[in-house]
Each structure stands twice: as C-alpha cells, then as structure tokens.
Amino acid sequence: MKENIVIIGGGIAGMEAAKQLLVLGYNPIIIEQQDHLGGHVSQWHKLFPDMTSSHELLDGLSNQIKDANVFLETKVNSINALGDSYNVILNNGVNIVAKAVLVASGFHLFDAAKKEEYGYGVYDRVITNADLEAWFNKRADARIPEHPKAVGFVHCVGSRDLKAGNSQCSKVCCTTAIKQAIEIKEIFPETEVYCFYMDLRLFGKKYEDFYINAQRDFGVHFIRGRVSEVGETIDNRVQVKAEDTLTGKPLKVTLDLLVLMSGMVCNPRTNELAEMIGLNIDDDGFLKSKDNVYTIMESNRPGIFYAGACTGTKTVPETVAEARAAVLSIHHYLTQA
Amino acid sequence: MMDFGFSLSKSSTINLDTVDTTLYKKLCDMEPDARICMSCGSCSASCTAASFSGMSLRKVILALQRDQDVRPMLSNCMLSGKCTMVCPRAINTRHLILTLYRIYDR
Ligand SMILES: Cc1cc2nc3c(=O)[nH]c(=O)nc-3n(C[C@H](O)[C@H](O)[C@H](O)COP(=O)(O)OP(=O)(O)OC[C@H]3O[C@@H](n4cnc5c(N)ncnc54)[C@H](O)[C@@H]3O)c2cc1C
Ligand code: SF4
Ligand code: SF4
C-alpha cells in the first residue's frame, strides 16, 4: 500500500508537492478549505516576471495531480501524534493516519480597510491589487472608470508597518505594482500612472527590467513618498497626499483610481493548526522554520514539513522550489526512518 | 589677493569625515527610535505646518545627522501630533520633537 502524506492547503505549494509525491510513489491527500485548488494564484491574472497565465499554469498542474486525493471545502478538526504518525481528523468525519504532514497553508492578504486613512471600502475609487487582478480576469468592477485620466499605486499597504502589526516587507508588491502599472498603461495609454513608494524592492531575476520598462516605455511616474492620506473630491475622484521626499515638498494629486498594494500577512488559521500540534510561530506571525537558511522546509516536529508562503512572504518560483525541496525532505525522512 | 571679479563659495559637500553628530547622538540616547526612521515622509505629508513653513520631521532627523541647523524648521512645529498618528515605524514623533526642544534649551 502506498504511504499517505497529508497536505494541508491546496495552493500552488500543495499542488506542486502532490505532483512530486505522486512521481515518487506516495499517496498525497490534499485538504483544501476552499471549493477549488490554486490558492491565491487562482485569483491572479498574469504572473511576473514572464507574464505567465496563472490559469494555464494551474490547469497544467491540476491535470498532473489527477491521481491525488483531494478534499475540497474541508478543514482539519484536529491533529494528534500517534506513535511515529499523525492522526488527522477532518470536519467531514474522515480520519487519516500519515507518517508525514506537509503544511502548505499559505498567507492572507492584508485587509486594506484596516488602514482607514486610505479609504478602502469608503471611497468608490479605491481598490486593492487583488481587486485589480480580478478585473484583469473578468473586466467587471464598477469602481474602475472607463477612461481614467490618472491612476495611482500605493506601495507597502499593511507591510513594513509596525502599527498594522507587520514589520515584514511583502516582497512581491513592488514588482506587482509595476507589473499592474504597465498593464494599466497598455489598456489606457493616455492615463498618467503614479507609483508611491518608500523603497523599490525589485530583487528577482528580470524584476529590474520591469522597472526600466515602466520608466522608458510607459512613462510611469515614481514618487518617493508614503501616502499619508486620501480624500474624496466633489466629483467622486480621490485626492492623495504624500511628501515628495526627493524634492522635500508636500505633494498632492487627484486620481480616478487608487490601487492599494495590500501585503502578504500570516494566515491566522495556520496558527490554530500550529497550536493543535505544538508548532512554533515566528515573531512575524508566520510558521517558524528550523532555520531560515538551510532547513526552511522543516518544522520543530519530526514528520511535519513546510512549503510556500506559510513560513513567510514568497514568490511563486520560490514557493514551487520549496514544495519540491519539502517533498525530498519527506522522502528522506520516510526512507531513512 | 588679486580680485578676479568672483569669489569662491563654501563647498556644499557633506563631508562625513568631519561632520559633527553630537546632537544627533544625544537625540538617539534620549529617543532611541530616532534611529529607525526610514525617511518615508509620512510625518511631513501629514504635517499641519509643512506646506507653509517648510517644517519636515523627516528632514530634521536627517539634517541632524549632517550637522545642519534644524532650529528654523523646528520653530514652526505646532505640536499637533498628526505625524505620530501616521509614522509606520511607530516612532513617537511628537515626543521626539519635544525632546529636541529640551536638548536645544540646555
Ligand atoms: C497581489 C499579489 C500578486 C502576486 N503576483 C505574483 C506574481 O505575479 N508572480 C509570483 O511569482 N508571485 C506572485 N505573488 C505571490 C504568490 O501569490 C504566492 O507566492 C503564492 O500564492 C504562494 O502559494 P502558497 O500555496 O504557499 O499559498 P496560497 O496561495 O495562500 O495557498 C494556500 C492554500 O491553502 C488553503 N488553506 C489555508 N489554510 C488552510 C487550512 N487550515 N485548511 C485547509 N486549507 C487551507 C488556502 O485556502 C489556499 O488555497 C503575488 C502575491 C500577491 C499578494
Ligand atoms: S515589496 Fe515593495 S511594496 Fe511590498 S512591502 Fe516590500 S517595499 Fe513595500
Ligand atoms: S513618518 Fe516616521 S519613519 Fe516616516 S519619515 Fe517620519 S519619522 Fe521617519
């Protein structure tokens, strides 16, 4: 009989892990709380840096994991150590015993309404990065005007913000902002686009190219200053205030659309899971790996492994690489035991 | 000296080899959070006095590290405390300004 491996979370991390576990001859069992696989990536339209279609990527992966057991709209009720195994009880009454459990429960998108000064949910013209991805997919959102004259992007919303309880940099949103700024310019070439940033963090392969493209080919304006407040004008537009720190002057601009780059924060449901089985939580709220250099896929408990954004902010290629690494760690753990 | 019809003006280069940071260090001793300012400009953008007077706490914190006189800027502060509401590094900016007043008073 094939060995069971429980995967908690069917995002791209969980899916990639299932694919690799199948190749190695295991029986991966994915537990996903939503009604579909793919996690956050299923909400996005095109992925940087190659503008890969999210849906094609996920469809391809779904085809490759047809033989995996998948429980959708399912949650873990409890998880207990049982000898050298874990007993995982699901809310549908199913009971699984497995020697290895992979936690791939991902992140939460910061709730932009918490930053009241930005007016999300209050002003019609304020949306989030996730809302904009949804619009790229469906082209239906009453908040997005037909011919915007000016569009702004606010970086670091809920990230690098001690008051919001998140000191970490979300790492993907600078690149996402520039990617989305370019996409807006492609759709609305006449629109003026402004990115309000504190630092531009374009660390990955080809990310800096997006920045150069945005400047040279699309004329996106980069303003170094954190937006301090947003207000509505009488004609239903939004006025944004910041300090233009490079000239040292207060600055304001009126926009038809403001996009808040909500950050990646820890998933509170993961913490419930961690409590059930005694997994360590890091001071940023994400799961704490054994270390952050060499064994990021390993937890403080034998037989429990991590992959993807449940341990911190990650890009898709990082998540996928970690899923593969975690599978190898699981394989070594089971064959050497 | 011969008059060539022009004079040399003082170099505007900031020379970190010779810059005097006594006041900045004093501030950091009394107000350690001064060190974690990341120059985002939220304080100055929300400042009630900024647009008329040139007051900018961001510039004050930087200027002290460059040994520039920050008193003209500080004198415009109305202590409204709006900056304290917005600082993403949770610096008690209003308190920091009061500490600076105290340092200059001595
Ligand atoms: C706006 C935005 C745009 C981005 N664009 C890009 C891009 O273009 N390129 C790129 O490389 N990266 C991008 N990223 C990063 C990318 O989204 C992440 O790297 C990726 O989603 C991480 O995958 P994951 O599987 O670890 O987590 P997730 O995508 O969060 O998936 C986790 C899954 O686990 C499920 N789950 C969670 N807890 C439980 C539980 N207790 N029980 C059962 N199921 C559970 C969730 O429902 C979800 O399906 C972007 C991020 C953001 C915020
Ligand atoms: S990646 Fe950029 S926008 Fe996102 S938190 Fe880091 S600095 Fe801010
Ligand atoms: S708001 Fe805080 S971090 Fe930003 S410039 Fe002002 S003091 Fe520095």
pLDDT tens for B33-90 read 999 999 999 999 999 998 888 899 999 999 999 999 999 999 999 999 999 999 999 9
Residue A122 tokens read as 């209050």
A156 and A134 housed in the same domain: yes
CA distance A321 to B78: 53
Among the listed residues A199, A195, A227, the one whose alpha carbon sits nearest the alpha carbon of residue A116: A227
Identify whether residues A33 and A145 lie together within a single domain.
Answer: no
ipTM, two decimals? 0.86
First to last CA, chain A: 18
For chain B, say whether A114 makes contact (Cβ under 8 Å): no
Within this chain, do residues A239 and A132 fall inside the same structural domain, yes or no?
yes
Same domain, A84 and A204: no
Distance CA A102, CA A71 (A): 15
Assign A186 to helix, strand or coil: helix
| The pair of three-digit structure tokens given for residue A58, joined into one six-digit string | 């996920």
B44 φ/ψ angles, rounded to the nearest 5 degrees: -70, -35
- Among residues A263, A283, A304, which one ends one of the domains? A263
The total of structural domains in chain A comes to 2
Distance CA A214, CA A212 (A): 5
| Residue A20 shares a structural domain with residue A52 | yes
* Alpha-carbon distances, residue A9 vs A2, A31, A76, A331 (angstroms): 21, 6, 10, 19
Among A234, A263, A292, the domain boundary falls at: A263
Same domain for A18 and A82, yes or no, is yes
Are the CB atoms for B88 and A160 separated by under 8 Å? yes
Q: Does A169 touch chain B (CB under 8 A)?
A: no
Give the other-Cβ count within 10 Å of B1's Cβ: 4
**DSSP tag of A337:** -
In the predicted structure, residue A287 carries a pLDDT above the cut 80:
yes
In percent, the amount of chain A with pLDDT more than 90 equals 99
The beta-carbon contacts of A211-219 under 8 Å, at least 24 apart in sequence, are: A211/A178, A213/A182, A214/A178, A214/A181, A214/A182, A214/A185, A218/A181, A218/A182, A218/A185, A218/A186, A218/A193, A219/A185, A219/A193
Could you tell me the distance, in angstroms and rounded to a whole number, from the CA of residue A280 to the centre of ligand 2? 26
Write the CATH number for A73. Answer: 3.50.50.60
Against a cut of 0.90, is the pTM above it?
yes
Helix (H) or strand (E) holding B44: helix B42-46
**Nearest neighbour of B40 by CB, restricted to A164, A226, A241:** A226
**Are residues B43 and B57 in contact, defined by beta-carbon separation less than 8 angstroms?**
yes
Mean pLDDT across A165-186: 98
Q: What is the pLDDT of residues A37-53, one digit of tens each?
A: 999 999 999 999 999 99
Query: Among B33, B36, B40, B87, which would you mutate to test the A interface (most chain A Cβ atoms within 10 Å of its Cβ)?
Result: B40
Residues of the domain holding A88: 4-106+267-336
A179 CA → ligand 3 middle, Å: 27
> Does the CB atom of residue A57 touch ligand 2 within 6 A?
no
Domain boundaries, chain B: 22-105
User: Do A78 and A122 fall into the same domain?
Assistant: no
Cis peptide before B88 (omega within 30 of 0): no
Confidence band of B106 (pLDDT split at 50, 70, 90): confident
